[in-house]
Amino acid sequence: YDEIQNPTLKNALVLEDAISDLPKVGNDQADDVMEYLVKPKTEFQRYIRLSRKEMLDYSFGDKTGPGEGTLMDHCPLRLNKDDYERVKRIPFEKVGG
């Protein structure tokens, strides 16, 4: 870092950047393998969909992971009835601010 330079910072990664492409799931979602329903919207989403080999991580041998567009292990924990009723009351859209 040189004080006479004007560094440009990258935008911070926020939760929406990471998960906005995930398909909706219900409280009873049991499928271990699903398909993405939309194309990646951010650089992070494109990266996280890469196979292990494409990420240059050869520690797993020759396995390349799931195919393009395949989502693995997107199974939420099943909520009890009270918690499920609470979650249903959370608004989908950001309110205010």
For the CA atoms of 35, 41, 45, 47, the dihedral, rounded to the nearest 10 degrees, stands at: 110
| pLDDT value at 86 more than 90 | yes
Distance, in Å, from the CA atom of 27 to the CA atom of 77, rounded to the nearest integer, reads 8
Domains of the chain listed by start with CATH number: 15-88 (3.90.120.10)
pLDDT in tens, 47-84: 888 876 777 655 555 554 455 678 877 788 889 999 99
What is the pTM for the complete model shown? 0.60
Asked if the model's pLDDT at residue 43 lies above 90, the reply is no
What is the structure's pLDDT at 1?
61
Residues 71-87 as b or e (16 or more Cβ within 10 Å = b): beeeeeeeeeeeeeeee
